[in-house]
């Protein structure tokens, strides 16, 4: 529901305490946690409160198949506090974060797991680390991304949308293709909905776009080669190719800041990241990942600094006009 208050110090203490632990000591689930089982869930809710009068729902839908397990691990050990701090420093005061974990519904035991929207560091961390990192996935270059989108589209309720017609944010990580249709049989078995027919993945994306600003985050250019084209056909310029999966949280936070108008352009993104402790090299990676999307907003900026360690031929933010 998202009714607590956030403490960056408390959140950083949680992640620092486990920084050297092996993954199996951080993610202890060996099956779907009962409270993350989506079956029978009507809605996961992001609601306003006295502490959060203008809540903003944010979903992280994490691919937890074998090739993608590094991202939830990075969030739990190090990066999630940076995401929250960047948002709060930008003046986005009431983010409420929900974690979804997914795999492949054709072969995994727990292909869809869903937490709750939370504002408190301890509760965010709880849902994230309750995720079962099954590490499975299929061998056909597809995972069940469409199920995560379907659930977010039809089984979330957010005051930012219902009261203010302000869309939330949906960040999905991945490196494979979605299945072409949301299977009505899988939906019935995993969620409990009775559908008359399968739902084309294009329809699932359109439904998601009604209440969320959705982004698909590809971990690196190498993995983008096998999936970027199909995702761009579905989501257009909302496909963001990272240079390093470690930048997932900073890229997501900057996307919220740019879309909300809290960051005027990529020059301010770089300045904000460096002020928050990111190295110039890391800020450069983030800015380059964001440049194609920022150009569509007219926010690439002409004043962004030259950022070191740019790959040969890469276009920095300073090379684009408004």
Ramachandran angles phi, psi of 213, nearest 5°: -95, 100
- pLDDT of 141: 86
Nearest residue to 173 via CA among 241, 230, 110, 117? 241
* Burial status of residue 67 (CB atoms within 10 A of its CB: 0-12, 13-18, 19 or more): middle
* Burial status of residue 293 (CB atoms within 10 A of its CB: 0-12, 13-18, 19 or more): buried
- Please tell me the distance from the alpha carbon of residue 212 to that of residue 151, in angstroms, as a whole number: 12
Q: Which residues contact 78 (CB under 8 A, 6 or more apart)?
A: 15, 19
Ramachandran angles phi, psi of 223, nearest 5°: -75, -20
- Please tell me the distance from the alpha carbon of residue 73 to that of residue 37, in angstroms, as a whole number: 21
- Please tell me the distance from the alpha carbon of residue 55 to that of residue 3, in angstroms, as a whole number: 10
Q: What is the CA radius of gyration of the chain?
A: 19
In the chain, CATH 3.40.50.410 sits at: 8-242
Q: At residue 322, does pLDDT exceed 50?
A: no
- What tens digit of pLDDT does each residue of 104-132 get? 999 999 999 999 999 999 999 999 999 99
Secondary-structure breakdown of the chain: helix, strand, coil percentages, each rounded to the nearest 5: 45, 15, 40
Q: What is this structure's pTM?
A: 0.92
- Please tell me the distance from the alpha carbon of residue 131 to that of residue 76, in angstroms, as a whole number: 11
- What tens digit of pLDDT does each residue of 161-175 get? 999 999 999 999 999
- What tens digit of pLDDT does each residue of 241-288 get? 999 999 999 999 999 999 999 999 999 999 999 998 999 999 999 999
Nearest residue to 247 via CA among 215, 284, 197, 211? 284
Instruction: Count the Cβ atoms, other than its own, within 10 Å of residue 46.
Output: 30
- What tens digit of pLDDT does each residue of 13-68 get? 999 889 888 888 989 999 999 999 999 999 999 999 998 999 999 999 999 998 78
Q: At residue 148, does pLDDT exceed 50?
A: yes
DSSP 152-172: HHHSEEEHHHHTT---EEEEE
Indicate the CATH number of 8-242 among 3.40.710.10, 3.40.50.410, 3.40.640.10, 3.40.50.2020: 3.40.50.410
């Amino acid at each position: 529901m998202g009714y607590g208050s956030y403490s960056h110090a408390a959140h950083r203490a949680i992640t620092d305490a486990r920084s050297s632990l092996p993954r199996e000591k951080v993610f202890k689930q060996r099956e779907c946690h009962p409270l993350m089982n989506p079956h029978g869930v009507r809605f996961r809710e992001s609601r306003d409160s006295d502490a959060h009068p203008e809540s903003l729902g944010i979903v992280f839908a994490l691919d937890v198949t074998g090739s993608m397990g590094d991202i939830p691990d990075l969030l739990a050990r190090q990066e999630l506090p940076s995401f929250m701090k960047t948002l709060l420093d930008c003046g986005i005061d009431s983010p409420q974060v929900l974690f979804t974990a997914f795999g492949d519904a054709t072969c995994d035991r727990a292909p869809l797991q869903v937490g709750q929207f939370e504002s408190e560091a301890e509760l965010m961390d709880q849902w994230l680390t309750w995720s079962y990192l099954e590490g499975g996935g299929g061998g056909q270059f597809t995972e069940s991304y469409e199920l995560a989108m379907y659930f977010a589209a039809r089984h979330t309720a957010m005051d930012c949308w219902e009261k203010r017609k302000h869309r939330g944010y949906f960040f999905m990580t991945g490196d494979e293709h979605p299945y072409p249709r949301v299977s009505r049989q899988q939906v019935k078995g995993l969620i409990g909905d009775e559908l008359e027919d399968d739902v084309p993945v294009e329809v699932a994306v359109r439904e998601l776009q009604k209440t969320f600003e959705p982004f698909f985050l590809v971990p690196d250019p190498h993995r983008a080669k096998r999936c970027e084209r199909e995702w761009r056909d579905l989501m257009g310029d909302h496909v963001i190719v990272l240079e390093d999966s470690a930048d997932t949280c900073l890229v997501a936070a900057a996307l919220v800041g740019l879309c909300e108008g809290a960051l005027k352009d990529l020059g301010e993104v770089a300045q904000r990241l460096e002020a928050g402790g990111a190295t110039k090299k890391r800020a450069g990676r983030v800015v380059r990942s964001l440049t194609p999307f920022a150009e569509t907003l007219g926010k690439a900026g002409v004043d962004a600094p030259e950022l070191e360690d740019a790959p040969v031929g890469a276009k920095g933010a300073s090379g684009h006009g408004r």
